[in-house]
Structure 1
């Protein structure tokens, strides 16, 4: 048996509905009925990186980072393939750059999506403390 099982169906057009456990997600290559696959991948990456960042903070003795927000943006090449990803991470806690660098390094080791992507697509990360 597999660790993860999904089912994706498209009745017509370019939209599909994916069943992931008890959850449904509509993805549409034309951005009409849902976000496009590249946007979903960038959001998925950020959604994985954020809790990894929080765990990385805990492992470095920062148990309460407060509110964290990742603003992600990405570039597409001429074939509409992702060619770059950037995260601007806003953290309520006001830590030093060295502390944030350590947390980012741990998050990169922890985040499963980061590990799954080819190195050229690893997010460039910029962290802003005292953000809220």
Structure 2
């Protein structure tokens, strides 16, 4: 899988607030393209502020439906720093982490929605 971890294209679609990231895949022969919404990237931020220092410390993010990516900063040749309209700007989105978010997007999104439902929280600001 390591050959997939260097993106060959990264585009922020500002209108739809979707980060499109493409990884070359020598396994399947075709590039793997993931379309990751800003809200999804924000609620799964790799920062300690969101993830905590262990799974038990993770903080459920609520009210992020309208969040936007306001800037993207490359970090060396291994990650992106995403800056969001709600002021969140910590956490480095490494290539392996972005690949994992893309690869597991459907399952992670469903898990997020179920966690919101369990605690009676919303994707919208209250």
Normalization by structure 1: what TM-score? 0.28
Larger radius of gyration: 1
Normalization by structure 2: what TM-score? 0.29
